[in-house]
Amino acid sequence: MDPAFEFLCRMGDNTLVLGHRVSEWCGHSPVLEEDIALANTALDLIGQTQLWLGLAAEVEGAGRDADALAMTRDAWDFRNVLLVELPNGDFGRTMMRQCLFDAWHDLVLAELRDSTDDRIAAIADKTSREVAYHLERSRDTVIGLGDGTEESHARMQAALDRLYPYVGELFETDAVDAALAEAGIAPDPGNLRDAYDARITGIMAEATLTIPDSRFAHKGGRDGVRHTEHLGHLLTEMQWLQRAYPGATW
Amino acid sequence: MYAQMIQSEKTDEDPRALAEFQARIDRGEKIEPKDWMPEGYRRTLIRQIGQHAHSEIVGQLPEGNWITRAPTLERKAILLAKVQDEAGHGLYLYCAAETLGISRDALTEKLLDGSMKYSSIFNYPTLTWADMGAVGWLVDGAAIMNQVPLQRTSFGPYSRAMIRICKEESFHQRQGYDIMMKMANGTPEQRRMAQNALDRFWYPSLMMFGPSDAESVHSAQNMAWKIKINTNDELRQKFVDQTVPQAEYLGLTIPDPDLKWNAETGHYDFSEPDWTEFFDVLKGDGPCNAERMEARRKAWDEGAWVREGLLAHARKKRAAKTAAE
C-alpha cells in the first residue's frame, strides 16, 4: 500500500462523497439562495475531487483516472470519513455536517499548502480559498439557526448530538499518516485537534449549542475497514451508468 | 415557452396617458419601475416574469434528477453548474418581478396554490442520461428562441435580466448538444438513448411556444407593449428550421414523418404537436405535474423553520446592535 495513494484517496473520497450528498439538495432547498449556495458547494467539492483523485491515479500509475477511481471502486476501497457519507437529514443536519467538516478541511488544507510534495501544495493552495468560503457560510448558518427560533435551536442541537460522534475520526492517526508526516507531505491529523476544538467551541458558543461531553468516535471510513450501510446505496446511484454500460464514453 | 399563453390584462386608464405610454414604447424607450405604467401592463408583466421565474425553479427538478447519476465527474460538475445557473435565473427574474410591486414570497405562494403556472415542458420526465442532452439542446434551444428577442422587451429590468440569462442559456444549449454528440456517436445503447430522448422531447419542445396566437387579441396588445416580440408560430418555425439540420448532423431522426423542406417557403413543413396533450399538461395532467408540485411544496413547507430561524437570528442581531449604540 502506497501511503501517498491512500492519503490522496482519503482527500478525494471525502470531497466526492460529501459533494454527492450536498448535490442531492439541488432544487429542494428551503430558500432559493440556499439552492444556489449548496449547488456551488457541491460543484467546488466535485472539482476538488477531480484534482485529488486525478493525482491519486497519477501516483498509482495503474492506468486508472479520477473517473475510474470514483465510478468503479467498491465501498471497501473508499477512504472517506463516515461523517460525509451519512444521509443529509434535514437542512440543519446537512449544514451542521458541513460546518463540522469545513472546520477540519480548512485546517488541513492550510497545513497542506506547505507540503513537501509540490503537487499536493498546489491543490491545497487552489482549494483552500473555496473551502474558506464554505466554512464561512456553514458557520454563519449554524450560528443563525442555532441562535434562531426555539425550533431551529432544537433541530441544530439534535444535529450536533447526532453527528458529533463522527468528528473524532477526522483526527485518527495510522501508519499512513505517520509515513506522510515523517516525509513532510501531510500533517499528523491528531495535531489538528486542538485548533479544531477551539474553532468549534467558538462557533457552537455563538450558536448557543452545547457540544456533547463524550469524545466517543465512530470510525472505519478512512481506512475502509467498516463504512456505514449508507455508502453502498450512494455508490449504487453514483456509479450506475458506468457499471451498466462499461466501456462507453460520456 | 418559459412563459406560455400570457393573456394581456385589461387596462382602463386615461386614454391620453395610455397614448403617451405607447409613444414611449414605440420610440424604443425602456420603461423603468418608477415610471408610470398602465395597470394592465404591470399585471401582465408580473404574470409573465413570474411564470418565467417559476419555470426556472421547477426546471431544476428534471435535471436535478440526474446529478447524482451523472456518468463522470466532469459531467456531474457541468450539470451542477447548469442547475445552479437556473436557480440564479430564477433569482434575477423574481427580483425583476419585485420591482413591479409583488414579493418573491407572494409569487411563490401563487405557484404553490396553483394560481400561477410554469412551463409545460418541465412536467415531462427525464428517463435516461441522453435526456440531459435533449433538454439542453431542445428545451434550452426553444427557450433561447423566445428569450433572445425579449432582450429588447420594453420593461427595463426584464430586458436586463434576459440579456444576462441569454448568455448562459446559449452556453447550456451547446453543452446539451455536446452530450447528444457523445451519445449519438457512442455505443449502440447510447445511440438508442439519444434517439429515444429526441422522440420523447420533440413535440413537448414544439409545445413550449404555445398554440398559434396569430389571431389573438391578447397577443396583439402584448406585442404593442413589447412584452411579446414575435408570434408563437414565427418562433416555432425558426426553432424547427434551426433544429432539423442539427438532428441530421447527429444522425438522429425527428419523429415526424411529414417533416420536409419546402423550397417555396424556404422553411421546413412539420406536424403540429397534439394540442390536447398540451392543454392536459397545463391543467395539471402532465406526466410529472403532481411530482413537481409535491417537490416544491415539500421544499417550501419543510424549509419554513429554516427561513424563520434565520430571520429570528437576524432580528436578534439587529436588536443587539441597536442596544449597543
- Which one of A35, A235, A238 makes the best mutation probe of the B interface by having the most chain B beta carbons within 10 Å? A35
Give pLDDT tens digits for A29-68: 999 999 999 999 999 999 999 999 999 999 999 999 999 9
Contacting A residues, span 102-131, partner chain B, CB-CB under 8 Å: none
Type of residue found at A131: V
Q: How many CA atoms lie within 13 A of A119 on its CB side?
A: 11
Quickly state the pLDDT bin for B324 (edges 50, 70, 90).
confident
Place of cell 427560533: A149
Place of cell 432580528: B315
What predicted TM-score, i.e. pTM, was given to this entire model? Answer: 0.95
- Considering only CB atoms, A42 lies closest to which of B80, B186, B306, namely B80
Given a contact cutoff of 8 angstroms between Cβ atoms, the answer to whether A155 and A126 are in contact is no
Task: Pick the more confident residue, A184 or B214.
Answer: A184
Tell me the Ramachandran region of residue B231: left when phi exceeds 0, alpha when psi lies from -120 to 50, beta otherwise.
Answer: beta
Q: How far apart are CA B156 and CA B173, in angstroms?
A: 25
| Residue A1 pLDDT | 74
Quickly state the pLDDT bin for B2 (edges 50, 70, 90).
confident
Query: Which residues of chain B lie closer than 8 angstroms to A250, CB-CB?
Result: 71-72, 75, 129, 179, 182, 186
Average pLDDT score, chain A: 97
Q: Looking at this predicted complex, what is its ipTM? A: 0.96
Mean pLDDT of B200-229: 91
Domains, in order of start, for chain A:
3-244 (1.20.1260.10)
Q: Which helix (H) or strand (E) holds B59?
A: none
Tell me the Ramachandran region of residue A184: left when phi exceeds 0, alpha when psi lies from -120 to 50, beta otherwise.
Answer: left
Compute chain A's Rg from CA coordinates. 18
Place of cell 441522453: B130
Query: Which residues of chain B lie closer than 8 angstroms to A70, CB-CB?
Result: 73
**Sequence-ordered list of residues with C-beta below 8 angstroms from that of A213, at least 6 positions apart, any chain:** none
Place of cell 434535514: A90
Query: Which residues of chain A lie closer than 8 angstroms to B189, CB-CB?
Result: 245, 248
Whether B278 has a pLDDT exceeding 90, the answer reads yes
| Residue B18 pLDDT | 92
Chains A and B form CB pairs within 8 A to the count of 150
Q: How far apart are CA A71 and CA A57, in angstroms?
A: 13
- The secondary structure of residue B281, as a DSSP letter, is I
**For chain B, percent of residues with pLDDT exceeding 90:** 90
Q: How far apart are CA B146 and CA B241, in angstroms?
A: 15
Tell me the Ramachandran region of residue A27: left when phi exceeds 0, alpha when psi lies from -120 to 50, beta otherwise.
Answer: left
* Interface contact flag, A145 B75, Cβ < 8 Å: no
Task: Pick the more confident residue, B323 or A53.
Answer: A53
Mean pLDDT of B131-141: 97
| Residue B251 pLDDT | 98
Strands of A61-183, DSSP E: none
Q: How many angstroms away from the CA of B134 is the closest CA of chain A? A: 14
Whether B219 has a pLDDT exceeding 80, the answer reads yes
Q: How far apart are CA A190 and CA B77, in angstroms?
A: 33
Query: Which has the closest alpha carbon to B186: B129, B143, B123, B110?
Result: B129
**Sequence-ordered list of residues with C-beta below 8 angstroms from that of B307, at least 6 positions apart, any chain:** A30, A31
Whether B8 has a pLDDT exceeding 80, the answer reads no
A195 touches chain B (CB under 8 A): no
The residue count of chain A comes to: 250
Mean pLDDT of B266-275: 97
Query: Which has the closest alpha carbon to B72: A180, A136, A67?
Result: A67
Q: How far apart are CA B158 and CA B99, in angstroms?
A: 10
Whether A91 has a pLDDT exceeding 90, the answer reads yes
Task: Pick the more confident residue, B24 or B219.
Answer: B24
Place of cell 497519477: A58
A23 touches chain B (CB under 8 A): yes
Chain-centroid distance of CA A87 in Å reads: 13
Compare all CA atoms of chain A with the CA of B298 and give the residue at the minimum distance.
Answer: A28
Give pLDDT tens digits for A133-160: 999 999 999 999 999 999 999 999 999 9
Quickly state the pLDDT bin for A7 (edges 50, 70, 90).
very high
| Residue B1 pLDDT | 58
| Residue A153 pLDDT | 98
- Distance between the two ends of chain A, CA-based, in angstroms? 31
Query: Which residues of chain B lie closer than 8 angstroms to A36, CB-CB?
Result: 84, 87-88, 91
Whether B205 has a pLDDT exceeding 80, the answer reads yes
